[in-house]
């Protein structure tokens, strides 16, 4: 048995099943898997091998518990092997069973293995299975559901199996089988075209009963045979009827045997049925049901039968048939893609009527041809439409037709419809409703359509940022294919034009720009040649520094810095325009440390997708080093449960509420309790809005699995199959959520700015989580007016069901959730300068005292006069050990971001002696540390000093704030 195509989604499984001999090295990757095939879902590896008859692969799999595997799901493996005719597999599996279990396997699920083996004509397997049964049990199996095993064998044309099963029956029982359900076995055999089956079962009937079988359900068997075009069966069946009964049989249901034969294009059957009627009635057959037979023949593409029927119609009747039921014939033929039929029908219509046929029922013919994917038919119908009408059809209901085509896999049709759209409209068609067209193609596995949509630069820009959702499955293969095409085009061009320069169009260049962005994001050395290929294309190079993405100048360089992609940054900086722009922005040092442009973030719906900067990555590492031991000791799940309990307590203390019947109604935390309130529709809606605006409850909903408050159209959610509900992507972020929660409530940490206390940090943390839970409820904008009366565009919460953030966007928002925490704040050069100031002040306040103060002042005066460093100043230098302690103190406080090269290099420079072999840290840090106060004798007033060093015109009489980098004395001397 060949490997079904449905299994192609399991490549490792296919490799194992196709291996001969079986590749046992793959078994460990498959043994615990669950596989879906046709109507059989959740199959184990053994069950799937049994289905396919792969006995050798079952043997090679070396299951730990063959016995248990075989008995699993009511001996499903034996059932599947038997149903598909694999007797050797059945025998092998039975080798693990005792006699009692073998019988159980046959009797399981009402003898399902035996019934399905008979249904599929596997007589030898039926005999084998029966060998475990007593005579009474064999009869029990055959009599289930009024002899369904025999009826199924007959319905599928298995005469030998039918005859064998009948050996267990007496004549009366054979008759009973044939008459069951008003002779259903005859109708089933007629439907399959099994004349020999019909003749065989008729042997169990007398003449009266044969007639009853034909007349059952108003001659249903005749209609069934006519639909299948089984002329010989019709001829055989009517032998039991008299002439009047024959006429009645084909007149039933307004001549439906003719219509069914016409639908299938069975012209010989149609002609034979006519022989039972006179000529006048034959025309009535054609006109019956608004020319139903004619419409069915034409609508299903049967031109020969159409021509035959038209011979019996005059011109006016042909026109009537073409226009019947508002041009139904054109709509049906369009759905089937029968362009030639449509052209033929149009010969009976004038120009106005042709256009009416296309426009009927809101352009139903056009829509049906489009949705069925028949480009030739669509092109023909479009000859009746002007350009505006064509565009309107595509744009109708916000490009719904594109979304439907994407779902149904009609790529050629999508491409054709796009010829009526400009580039922006193509993008809008895919983008509408959070890229529903793209999601439809992905959900149905239409990879070619996904790749086609990715040919739109703005679609690629969106998709490539969502690496978790789309990267490996769609973006990477698409980019690989695109790069291969570009490389081939470049080679071909250069061979044909040795002196030419390969280039691409402006739109293609934008596309290449976003491919470059993805290559930078992936930071894979194997992709460097591809990166250089694109960078060397002139149209692409001209974009490298520009804001291809609005308000994102030099985006690629900044992304390279964020991703720590030194190689890509080096290549980009070789482009003068990129380097010049970088120089103007001090090479984005602030960005490199995580100082994002908050104004841009506020304007960017997907700001959470901005790559984490190096500083942010280091900041997370530092926080994990602090809190991970707690997480390991207590357990993430336990801590998360503690968070949920805290949230529940907070909600109980300050619940959401509404005014209801003149009183305040407190809204319960749980969905079931809320539903039990049985509110009227208006109050119910007000309650939902109160929930949506409640921070703590929003967080609880975000963490709910399932979340009954979720919007029906919410994207980026998971489905809880057990509870038939949907929930957000929070589970994969539990460790990170717990980490930030621990950071927020850490009482040993003194925060900064407006978030000094744990309670302040926690409030902000919960607010950010609530925003994550309703991230895409803020997708819409509206015009608002500020205090001065000026209009501006603002985002707002739509107060609809929860639409949480996508997976890839959660991390950014979590990073913003605990401001003020020293391990989670943006360390800047000003912060480092302040830390160094405090360090040197503490150092010198501990090392300058009454015993050495005068000598230090003398040494400083000597330095100013003679530019020489006295030994006492050298002895006061900060040792390398102390310098290292300072650096470590920064790491302890701020985490790994303190080790950023910008900071460490600045600190080394501050501790250096400006190129001199010997120097004084006291002199170096005099201004930075405001160290003069430590050199003033406490008992003396300012301006008084026996040594005269702090005289009115000396340096020592200068207030600290008066000193700046241009001070002429000390700084110049240094």
List pLDDT tens digits, range 861-908.
888 888 888 889 999 999 999 999 999 999 888 777 788 776 887 898
**Position 552 confidence tier, pLDDT thresholds 50, 70, 90:** confident
For residue 782, what are the β-bridge partners?
794
Buried-exposed string 325-341: b where 16+ CB fall within 10 A, e elsewhere: eebbbbbbbbbbbbbeb
Listed range (204-218, 243-257, 384-398, 809-823) with the worst mean pLDDT: 809-823
More confident residue, 453 or 498: 453
* Structural element, H or E, at residue 40: strand 40-43
Q: In terms of Cα–Cα distance, which of 43, 39, 91 is closest to 69?
A: 43
Q: If pLDDT is split at 50, 70 and 90, which confidence band does 737 have? A: very high
What pLDDT, on a 0 to 100 scale, did the predictor assign at position 645?
Answer: 97
User: What pLDDT is attached to residue 596?
Assistant: 39
Instruction: Quote the CA–CA distance of 277 and 190 in Å, as a whole number.
Output: 23
Confidence of residue 733 (pLDDT cuts 50, 70, 90): confident
Per-residue pLDDT tens over the stretch 908-925: 888 988 667 678 999 888
- Percentage of the chain beyond pLDDT 90 is 63
> Would you place residue 141 in the very low, low, confident or very high pLDDT band (cuts 50, 70, 90)?
very high
State how far the Cα of 567 lies from the Cα of 408, in Å rounded to an integer.
43
- Provide mean pLDDT across the span 589-595: 54
- Give the contacts of 775 (CB within 8 A, at least 6 positions apart): 608, 803, 804, 805, 806, 809, 813
Would you state the structure tokens that stand for residue 621, as one six-digit string? 């590492």
Residue 617 pLDDT level (bands cut at 50, 70, 90): low
* pLDDT at residue 588 is higher than 90: no
788 or 40, which is more confident? Answer: 788
Least confident of 98-102, 107-111, 380-384, 576-580: 576-580
**Residue given tokens 């959660």 in the structure block:** 810
Kindly tell me the burial class for residue 959, based on how many C-beta atoms sit within 10 Å of its own C-beta (0-12, 13-18, 19 or more): exposed
Q: Check residue 34 and give its pLDDT.
A: 83
C-alpha span between 788 and 138 (Å, rounded):
91
pLDDT at 55: 96
The region of weakest confidence among 97-111, 393-407, 473-487, 940-954 is: 940-954
Q: By the 8 A CB rule, do 102 and 131 touch?
A: no
Phi then psi for residue 795, to 5 deg, are -85, 155
Distance between CA 500 and CA 530 in Å, rounded?
21
Residue 619 has a pLDDT of: 62
Is residue 974 scored above 70 in pLDDT? no
pLDDT for the residue 422:
94
User: CA of 470: how far to CAs of 105, 446, 746, 887, in Å?
Assistant: 45, 14, 37, 42
Q: Taking residues 229-245, report their average pLDDT.
A: 97
Return d(Cα 823, Cα 598) in angstroms, integer. 20
C-alpha distance from residue 816 to each of 254, 694, 778, 891 (Å):
73, 20, 17, 21
- DSSP code string of 554-616: THHHHHHHHTT-HHHHHHHHTSHHHHHHHHHTGGGHHHHTT---HHHHHH-TTGGGSPPPHHH
Secondary structure (DSSP) of 41-61: EEE-HHHHHHHHT-HHHHHHH
Contact between residue 906 and residue 829 where contact means Cβ atoms under 8 Å apart: yes
Q: What is the mean pLDDT of residues 13-20?
A: 92
Please report which confidence band the pLDDT of residue 808 belongs to, taking 50, 70 and 90 as the band edges: low
Q: How confident is the model at residue 618 (pLDDT cuts 50, 70, 90)?
A: low
Strands 663-666 and 718-720: unpaired
Give how far Cα 52 sits from Cα of 24, 72, 80, 88, 114, Å: 18, 17, 8, 12, 17
**CB of 943 closer than 8 Å to CB of 951:** yes
Query: What is the mean pLDDT of the segment spanning 334-363?
Result: 95
| Mean pLDDT on 47-69 | 92
Contact 281, 244 (CB under 8 A): no
What SS3 state is found at 664?
strand
Tokens 């119910």 locate to: 684
Any idea which of 101-115, 116-130, 198-212, 832-846 has the lowest mean pLDDT?
Answer: 832-846
Task: For residues 628 and 636, give the distance between their C-alpha atoms in angstroms, rounded to a whole number.
Answer: 9
Alpha-helix runs per DSSP H in 746-852:
758-773, 807-815, 829-847
pLDDT score of 516 more than 50? yes
Report residue 591's pLDDT band, with 50, 70 and 90 as the boundaries.
low
Q: How far is CA 346 from CA 297, 321, 323, 350, in A?
A: 16, 11, 10, 8
pLDDT at 131: 97
Asked whether the predicted pLDDT for residue 375 surpasses 70, the reply is yes
How far apart CA 151 and CA 77 sit, in angstroms, is 25
- What pLDDT digit, counting tens, does each position of 657-710 carry? 999 999 999 999 999 999 999 999 999 999 999 999 999 999 999 999 999 999
Higher-pLDDT residue of 861, 649: 649
First CA to last CA distance, the chain: 89
Mean pLDDT value of segment 434-441? 93
Average confidence (pLDDT) over 830-836: 86
Can you tell me the mean pLDDT for 767-779? 92
Q: How confident is the model at residue 717 (pLDDT cuts 50, 70, 90)?
A: confident
Residues 158, 128 contacting (CB under 8 angstroms) = no
- CA dist 266 and 683 (Å) reads 62
Write the DSSP assignment of 942-969 as a string of letters: TT--TT-TT-TTSGGGS-GGG--TT-TT
Ordered by where they begin, the domains of the chain are 468-592 (1.25.40.20), 616-655+694-824 (no CATH), 829-973 (no CATH)
843-860 b/e (C-beta count within 10 Å ≥ 16 → b): bbeeebeeeeeeebbebb
How high is the pLDDT of residue 402? 95
326: left (phi over 0), alpha (psi -120 to 50) or beta: left
CA distances from 19 to 25, 47, 90, 798 (A): 11, 18, 21, 56
Under 8 Å between Cβ of 565 and 572: no
Question: Is pLDDT at 235 greater than 90 in this prediction?
Answer: yes
Residue of 34 and 233 predicted with greater confidence = 233
- Token pair 């405001």 in the structure block, residue: 930
Tokens of 489: 């085009």
Q: In the prediction, which pLDDT does 604 show?
A: 42
Contact by Cβ (8 Å): 530, 537: no
Q: Of 69-78, 384-393, 890-899, which gets the smallest average pLDDT?
A: 890-899
For residue 785, the cross-strand partners are: 791
> Cα 763 to the chain's mean position, in Å?
32
**Share of residues in the chain with pLDDT > 70 (%):** 90
Dist CA 23 CA 755 (whole Å): 60
Structure token digits, residue 878: 């900060």
Q: What are phi and psi of 875, to 5 degrees?
A: -65, -20
* Secondary structure (3-state) at 289: helix
How confident is the model at residue 914, as a pLDDT?
Answer: 67
Give the mean model confidence (pLDDT) for residues 274-282.
90
DSSP annotation of 822 reads G
pTM of the model: 0.55
pLDDT at 107 over 70: yes
pLDDT band at 338; cut points 50, 70, 90: very high
- The whole-number pLDDT of residue 616 equals 54
Of the candidates 912, 723, 732, 756, the residue with the CA atom closest to the CA atom of residue 825: 756
Question: What is the pLDDT, as a whole number, of residue 895?
Answer: 75
Q: Indicate whether 945 pLDDT > 80.
A: no
- CB count within 10 Å of CB 9 equals 11
What is the signed CA dihedral for 729, 731, 733, 734, rounded to 10 degrees?
150
Yes or no: say if 710 and 802 are a contact pair by the CB < 8 Å rule: yes
How many Cβ atoms sit within 10 Å of the Cβ of residue 467? 18
pLDDT at 937: 59
Q: Please, how many CA atoms are within 13 Å of residue 618, restricted to the half-sphere of its CB?
A: 23
Task: Kindly tell me if the per-residue pLDDT of 561 is higher than 70.
Answer: yes
pLDDT (average), residues 214-222? 97
In whole angstroms, give the CA distance from residue 436 to residue 399.
10
Is the pLDDT at 343 greater than 90? The verdict is: yes
CA distance 40 to 84: 13
Q: What is the mean pLDDT of residues 183-207?
A: 97
Secondary structure string (H, E, C) spanning 191-237: HHCCHHHHHHHHCCCCHHHHHHHHHHHHHHHHHHHHHHCCHHHHHHH
Please give the mean pLDDT across all residues of the chain.
Answer: 87
pLDDT at 779: 84
What pLDDT score does 521 carry? 94
623, pLDDT greater than 60: yes
Say which residues have a Cβ less than 8 Å from residue 533's Cβ, sequence separation at least 6: 483, 486, 487, 490
Out of 88-97, 116-125, 216-225, 828-837, pick the least confident: 828-837
Q: How many helices (H) and strands (E) does the chain have?
A: 52, 8
Is the pLDDT assigned to residue 364 strictly greater than 80?
Answer: yes
């Amino acid at each position: 048995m060949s490997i079904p195509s449905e299994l192609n989604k399991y490549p490792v499984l296919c490799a194992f099943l196709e291996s001969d001999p079986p590749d046992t090295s793959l078994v460990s990757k498959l043994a615990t898997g669950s596989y879906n095939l046709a109507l059989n879902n959740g199959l184990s590896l053994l069950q799937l091998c049994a289905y396919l008859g792969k006995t050798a692969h079952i043997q090679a799999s070396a299951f730990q518990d063959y016995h248990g595997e075989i008995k699993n799901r009511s001996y499903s493996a034996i059932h599947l092997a038997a149903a598909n005719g694999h007797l050797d597999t059945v025998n092998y599996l039975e080798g693990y069973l005792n006699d009692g279990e073998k019988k159980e396997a046959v009797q399981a699920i009402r003898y399902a293995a035996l019934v399905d083996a008979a249904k599929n004509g596997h007589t030898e397997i039926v005999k084998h299975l029966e060998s475990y049964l007593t005579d009474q049990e064999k009869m029990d199996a055959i009599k289930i559901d009024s002899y369904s095993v025999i009826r199924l064998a007959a319905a599928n044309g298995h005469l030998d199996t039918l005859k064998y099963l009948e050996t267990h029956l007496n004549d009366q029982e054979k008759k009973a089988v044939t008459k069951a359900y008003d002779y259903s076995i005859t109708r089933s055999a007629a439907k399959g075209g099994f004349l020999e089956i019909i003749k065989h079962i008729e042997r169990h009937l007398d003449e009266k009963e044969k007639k009853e079988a034909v007349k059952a359900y108003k001659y249903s068997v005749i209609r069934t045979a006519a639909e299948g075009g089984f002329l010989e069966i019709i001829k055989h069946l009517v032998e039991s009827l008299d002439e009047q009964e024959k006429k009645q049989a084909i007149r039933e249901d307004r001549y439906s045997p003719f219509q069914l034969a016409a639908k299938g294009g069975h012209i010989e059957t149609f002609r034979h049925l006519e022989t039972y009627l006179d000529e006048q009635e034959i025309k009535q057959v054609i006109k019956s049901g608004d020319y139903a037979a004619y419409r069915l023949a034409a609508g299903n593409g049967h031109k020969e039968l159409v021509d035959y029927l038209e011979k019996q119609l005059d011109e006016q009747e042909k026109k009537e048939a073409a226009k019947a039921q508002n041009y139904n014939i054109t709509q049906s033929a369009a759905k089937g893609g029968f362009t030639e039929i449509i052209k033929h029908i149009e010969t009976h219509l004038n120009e106005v009527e042709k256009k009416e046929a296309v426009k009927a029922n809101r352009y139903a013919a056009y829509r049906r041809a489009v949705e069925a994917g028949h480009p030739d038919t669509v092109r023909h119908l479009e000859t009746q439409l002007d350009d505006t009408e064509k565009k309107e059809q595509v744009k109708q209901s916000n490009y719904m037709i594109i979304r439907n085509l994407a779902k149904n896999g009609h790529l050629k049709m999508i491409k054709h419809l796009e010829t009526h759209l400009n580039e922006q409209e193509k993008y809008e068609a895919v983008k509408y409703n959070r890229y529903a067209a793209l999601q439809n193609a992905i959900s149905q596995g239409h990879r070619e359509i996904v790749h086609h949509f990715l040919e739109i630069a703005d679609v690629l820009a969106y998709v490539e940022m969502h690496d978790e959702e789309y990267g490996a499955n769609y973006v990477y293969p698409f980019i690989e294919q695109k790069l291969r095409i570009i490389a081939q085009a470049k080679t071909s061009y250069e061979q044909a034009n040795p002196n030419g320069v390969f280039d691409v169009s402006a739109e293609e260049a934008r596309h290449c720009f976003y491919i470059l962005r993805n290559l930078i994001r992936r930071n894979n050395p194997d992709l460097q040649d591809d990166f250089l290929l694109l960078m060397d294309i002139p149209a692409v190079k001209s974009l490298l520094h520009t804001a291809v993405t609005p308000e994102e100048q030099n985006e690629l360089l900044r992304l390279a810095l964020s991703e720590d992609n030194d190689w890509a940054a080096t290549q980009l900086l070789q482009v003068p325009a990129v380097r010049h722009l970088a120089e103007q922005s001090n090479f984005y040092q602030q960005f490199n440390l995580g100082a994002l442009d908050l104004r841009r973030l506020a304007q960017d719906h997907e700001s959470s997708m901005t790559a984490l900067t190096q500083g942010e990555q280091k900041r997370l590492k530092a926080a994990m080093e602090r809190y991970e031991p707690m997480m390991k000791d207590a357990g993430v799940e336990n801590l998360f449960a503690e968070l949920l309990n805290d949230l529940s307590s907070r909600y109980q203390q300050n619940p959401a509420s509404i005014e209801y019947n003149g009183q305040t109604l407190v809204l319960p935390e749980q969905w079931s309790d809320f539903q039990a309130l049985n509110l009227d529709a208006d109050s119910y809606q007000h309650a939902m809005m109160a929930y949506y605006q409640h921070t703590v409850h929003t967080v609880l909903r975000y963490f709910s699995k399932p979340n009954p408050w979720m919007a029906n159209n919410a994207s980026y959610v998971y489905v809880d199959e057990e509870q038939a509900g949907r929930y957000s992507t929070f589970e994969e972020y539990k460790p990170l959520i717990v980490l930030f929660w621990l950071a927020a409530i850490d009482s040993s940490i003194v925060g900064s700015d407006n978030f000094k206390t744990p309670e302040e940090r926690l409030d902000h943390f919960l607010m950010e989580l609530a925003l994550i839970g309703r991230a895409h409820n803020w997708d819409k904008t509206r015009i608002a007016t500020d205090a001065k009366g000026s209009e501006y565009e603002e985002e707002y919460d739509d107060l609809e069901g929860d639409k949480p953030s996508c997976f890839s966007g959660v991390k950014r928002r979590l990073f913003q959730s605990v401001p003020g925490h020293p391990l989670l704040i943006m360390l800047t050069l000003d912060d480092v300068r302040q830390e160094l100031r405090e360090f040197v002040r503490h150092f010198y306040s501990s090392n300058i005292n009454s015993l050495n103060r005068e000598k230090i002042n003398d040494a400083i005066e000597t330095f100013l006069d003679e530019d020489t460093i006295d030994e006492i100043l050298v002895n006061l230098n900060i040792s390398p050990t102390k310098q290292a302690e300072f650096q470590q103190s920064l790491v302890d406080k701020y985490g790994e971001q303190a080790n950023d090269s910008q900071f460490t290099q600045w600190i080394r420079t501050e501790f250096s002696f400006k190129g001199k072999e010997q120097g004084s840290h006291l002199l170096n840090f005099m201004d930075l540390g405001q160290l003069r106060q430590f050199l003033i004798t406490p008992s003396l007033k300012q301006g008084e000093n026996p040594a005269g060093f702090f005289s009115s015109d000396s340096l020592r009489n200068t207030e600290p704030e008066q000193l700046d980098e241009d001070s002429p004395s000390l700084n110049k001397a240094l």
